[in-house]
A = this chain, B = another copy of it.
Amino acid sequence: MIDNFLRLSTLFDFYGALLTKKQQDCLKMHLYEDWSLSEIAAALDISRQAAYDMIHRCTATLEKYESKLQLINKSKKRQTSLNSILTDVNTLQSAISNKRLHIIEDKLRELLNS
């Protein structure tokens, strides 16, 4: 359940902009406001069942985008590579003290958080 929630949250981060405004609102209420289906339904002026369907259809749509573009997969691989470089830089820092190494570290951390 938590895994599904985290997955949907990640999918929404990467592809949410491709959904309609109403779909985005629905998922924001579900993911970030922790609203119940009844509360979401009331806010969007739709039935509880329609709110449930919308969340599930959006999940399928977002998974379809990921299956085609692989942005989440690519991002994970990039993060792994950057972390590996950061580890190398930190290892080097333990042997060599150089201001430029700190600059490199800072830039890597900035990239990791972007």
Q: Which residues on the B side are within 8 Å of A81 (C-beta)? A: 107, 110-111, 114
In angstroms, Cα B98 to Cα A69, docked, is 38
Could you tell me the dominant secondary structure of chain A's interface residues? helix
Q: How far, in whole Å, are A100 and B107 apart by their CA atoms in the complex?
A: 18
Convert A102-114 into 0s and 1s, putting 1 for each residue whose CB lies closer than 8 angstroms to a CB of B: 0110011011001
How many copies of this chain does the complex contain?
2
- Give residues of chain A (63-90) contacting chain B, Cβ–Cβ below 8 Å: 65, 68-69, 71, 77-78, 81-82, 84-85, 88-89
Alpha-carbon gap, A69 to B77, bound state (A): 19
Contact A18 B69 (CB under 8 A): yes
The answer for the CA separation of A110 and B15 in the assembled complex, in Å, is 26
